[in-house]
A and B are shown apart, each in its own frame.
Chain A
Amino acid sequence: MKFDLESNTQKLQKQKLLIYPILAVLLGLFQISLAHFIEIGGISPNVMIIFIVWLSIKEGQFFTLFAAFFTGIFYDIIKMDLIGTNALSLLITAFACGFFYKEGKSDLIIRSFKFLLISFIGAIIHNFVYYFLYIRISEMDFWNFFIKYGVASSLYTCVFSFFPILISFKNRSFNL
């Protein structure tokens, strides 16, 4: 019985290691090829941030640090960005959001409005780091730029983080 439980846990871990990268790739493709359909004033939600925030609540800080790093590198490659910029900003987001992780209570957090708040904090941290690196090579004023685009983009991302909440509610009703 014990053996079965252990093998099931291992199986689940293996499945996660397969599903999460696939999810990251799909979300990355969505972000670069379809996100412009929902763009408002040049600003679109960043689903990669939502993914990392969700992962940090679901799996904890340690696991998400690696996930954020590799997702960021992948995103840098497909976005034609300077390699390391998205990886760094997603990594810091994962580190910060990891502090909200509570073992055994991940579903409760994701189903609550707390998740929206964590997503907003995550998006603000991400945009702060990313735009700092983005502005570095230009002559734009960082604070003007951050308030204009960073905060707006964080709010839009926060609105979009309703989807994981809805999905988790739907999953719960199926489980019942």
Chain B
Amino acid sequence: MLQNIVNFVIKFKEYLTFLALVILCFAFISIGSTKQISGFRSIMIVATAWIQNSLSWIPNPAALKNENKALRDLNLQLSDEVAKLRTASVENEHLRKMLSFMDSSQISLVPAEIVGRNSIDLKSYITINKGNTAGIEIGMPVRTDAGLVGIVVGRTNNYSLIELLNNNTTRVSAEIERTGINGIFAWNGGENFTINNIPASFDVKNGDIVSTSNYSNRYPAAIPLGKVISVEKDNSSIFYKIKIKSSANLKTIEEVFVIKYIPNEERKNMIEDIERKILEGKKER
């Protein structure tokens, strides 16, 4: 009997090993937590940042050309806006004085340079040259002058790893500035982004500016996300199909600002608790 079992195992050792390892993989996937290996990941961030830093002298002509074009466009827009803002600033100051408004507190920003860029299997990350010593923490949002870029997912003393918006996990609570309509900003797997859950009866137009909303616990409100480039009515759904062009050019960014904004722990824990309870409830059913 025992000999038969041994023979069976030897005969089908490849299949049995494969099965065992597949089960192990699913076990890892279902656990999902990666806190235990954060130390090892920190070492890897330093190693890759070092390699990328030492190779940063290699020019990337395509990226430079794109960046130049983006900067020229931005320059044109900004010079137009500066003229408008000058007038608005004088008017604003006057009004503030009149109403005795307090200056709203500014969230502090940490400027950082990009020393590495990883785009692996459509997961996009950048490595910046600021870390723990500059007060950067995991979960802080990252932006450029144009708009939101991503979020800090790993950090060491001198480097941080940023997960960019063009990622399958991206979910940002967004708002269409003109009308105040809220939706979920997500990546559609291509060049552009989408904004979901906006009913087809609502007022959305091409050119509308989309920014982070007050509902978001991960990002501060009013950071530009992008501009609406197409609004389609889908007959099979009650929601619009809206395409968004990102404000920040994620392919050509060279410098970013880390926003020293940490999500409210109490609010975050409460949401996680409720989500867990809902999931447990579903499993029990």
Contact = CB atoms under 8 A, between A and B. Distances in A.
Given A33-B51, A79-B121, A149-B189, 5 more contacts: A32-B48, A42-B122, A79-B118, A80-B163, A91-B22
Contact of B22 (A79, A83, A88): A88
Contacts, number: 119
Interface stretch (B10-18, B76-84, B226-234): B10-18
A32 B31 contact: no
A42 B18 contact: no
Nearest to B125: A80
Interface in B26-70: 26-29, 31-32, 34, 37, 40-41, 44, 47-48, 51-52, 55, 58, 60
Say which size band chain A's interface belongs to.
35 or more
A139 B196 contact: yes
A80 B154 contact: yes
Given A62-B14, A137-B169, A88 B196 contact: no
A99 to B, nearest CB: 10
Interface stretch (A6-14, A108-116, A127-135, A167-175): A127-135
Contacts of A161: none
A34 B24 CA distance: 30
A87 B25 CA distance: 6
A46 B121 CA distance: 8
B85 interface: no
B168 interface: yes
Interface of A is mostly: helix
A97 B17 CA distance: 15
A75 to B, nearest CB: 9
A149 B44 CA distance: 27
Nearest to B34: A83
Nearest to B58: A37
B169 A33 contact: no
A61 B25 contact: no
Nearest to A98: B14
A131 to B, nearest CB: 8
Contacts of A1: none
Nearest to B119: A36
